[in-house]
Amino acid sequence: MKLYFSPGACSLSPHIALREAGIEPELVRVDLATKKLADGSDYLAINPKGYVPALQLDDGTLLTEGPAILLYIVQNLARTPLGPKEGMGLVRLVEWLNFISTEIHKGFSPLFKPNCPQEWKAVAKETLLKRLQWVDGQLAQRPWLLGEEFSVADIYLYVCARWTAFVQIDLGQFPALARFVENMAQRPAVQAAIKAEGLKQ
């Protein structure tokens, strides 16, 4: 099983999830600027979308889009529960993955783009802060996004929350979210994935 990744990018979430599922994937690093792999081959020939993550299963099937990969891990690979597999619990999991993907993950995008006008970055940052404030309120009521049950949604949120350090957002203003990030950082799968990608906590 191959995971195409870029260190610290959103591909870190399926990387952590796979390790939580007891799987150590073969990591294939992607240079997102050149769309090349370490051996010089063309990543676009594998994933024409050009971004990460992409997960290639042992039968050659390629999965793309982080939330879809996370759901695949929940449904097919997890040895211990990483989220509900059916019913309203699954609906709530998808609800959180969708929110994180569209409102938080994509909320960071303008802040990382050097050619994005400062005026738009200010608007994007203001919106992102509102979304993070709402999440902070949710986590003030429970340890994990789904309540007492840890899930892949928590992994995805953790990966996005790490990016605050790169865009001058102080997590201290969100005490419940900051505590959540600290708790996530103590998980062995998180530590293993971060070490494997050459990152710092």
DSSP E strand boundaries for the chain: 2-5, 26-31, 36-37, 54-56, 62-64
Using an 8 Å Cβ cutoff, are 4 and 28 in contact?
A: yes
Q: Which pLDDT tens digit goes with each residue over 15-32?
A: 999 999 999 999 999 999
Mean pLDDT across the chain: 97
Mean pLDDT, residues 61-72 taken together:
98
Q: What is the pLDDT of residue 78?
A: 83
Mean pLDDT, residues 87-96 taken together:
98
- Cβ burial of 77 (10 Å; 0-12, 13-18, 19+) is middle
* pLDDT > 90? residue 80: no
Using an 8 Å Cβ cutoff, are 171 and 177 in contact?
A: yes
Exposure letters 80-105 (e unless 16+ CB within 10 A, then b):
eebbbeeeebeebbeebbebbbebbb
Q: Which pLDDT tens digit goes with each residue over 138-154?
A: 999 999 999 999 999 99
Token pair of 141, please? Answer: 């009521």
